[in-house]
Structure 1
Amino acid sequence: MSVGVLALQGDIQEHSAALLRLGVRPVEVRLPKHLAQVERLIIPGGESTTIGRLLALYDLIEPLRSRAGRDLAIWGTCAGAILLARSVLDTKTGGQPVLELMDMAVRRNAYGSQLDSFEQPLAMPVLGEAPLPGVFIRAPQIETIGPQVTALATLPNGAIVAAQQGRLLATTFHPELTGDDRVHRYFLAL
């Protein structure tokens, strides 16, 4: 199995380390030729506007759209979840390039600034009974999902923080920053 980590900006090393712990050697994806080598791709957390602009600059948007969910499973964490969304509900983004792959609307920085970052244990039944550590750093929130999207985890207030549409997975938190590799394992099984 070949797994790529989009290596344009963000938590590249953290996702790579999690994959290595699971015995998977990641491919750093920077160009379409790298993308052609992988069956799965993680779009890491980082700055979504920057990642979106770099996706456009390096001609990765169309190759991603053409393969997404078919012969390419994709997981977006935090900024990656924003990039996967069909709609970004934030007037400050002003034309931010997004992939528009998952039928969901996302709000950037939904919980406030960096100072408002938090940790919250999460129930994610597809991973078993034990709570999952949720690390939220300037996190987005999934505001709405379409009929083909399944909510996988929510905060106690009902806010959706993980969703899946076929072979597309989005988490608004950072599993790569914890020692818990269950979400990575789940993604590898898609």
Structure 2
Amino acid sequence: MTTLKQAWEHEQQQQQQIQLVTNTSNNNMSYSGSQIEDNINSNNNINKDEETSIVALNVFRAREEEIEKKKLEVREKVTAQLGRVEEEIKRLAGIRHELESLADPKRKEVTTVRKRIDTLNKELKPLEKLYQKKEKEYKDALEAFNQKNKEKSGLVSRLMELVGESERVRMKRLEELGKNIDSLC
């Protein structure tokens, strides 16, 4: 089989020969016997060349059809692959959406709880200061109370001692007076 380039070159040669024959026939209207035979032989060669070019053209067309078929097959495979890829993209997008929807409610709850904690922390700070102030006041008051109570206990003890001593002194004095009265009588 001839290659496409060879078939094209052959077709070009045939066209040049046909052009040459037509030019020659127009210029020379009279043919000699040998010229006619040469022209017939040349025409036979041209017919063989035409057949060769037709065969080459048919081969070329067959190859073009084969190439087109392969292009269609490849295009169909690519289209099928793209379809599968698009399906995978849709499936992955669905999975991503599900993941985001699962994460969203928890994220909202966490955010709400964190905000509430922050608010409570802000409220607790002044309360803690107030508590510490009140606790200090309480401790100071308790210490003062305990000190006064201790002082009172000390005074009560002293009072009891004084009262006890006073009673003894008075009793002693009464006894002395009672003895003095007894001695006078």
What TM-score comes out, normalization by structure 2 length? 0.13
Choose between structure 1 and 2 for higher RCO, CA contacts under 8 A separated by at least 6 residues.
Answer: 2
Give 1 or 2 for the bigger CA radius of gyration.
Answer: 2
| Structure with greater strand share of residues | 1
What TM-score comes out, normalization by structure 1 length? 0.13
| Structure with greater helix share of residues | 2
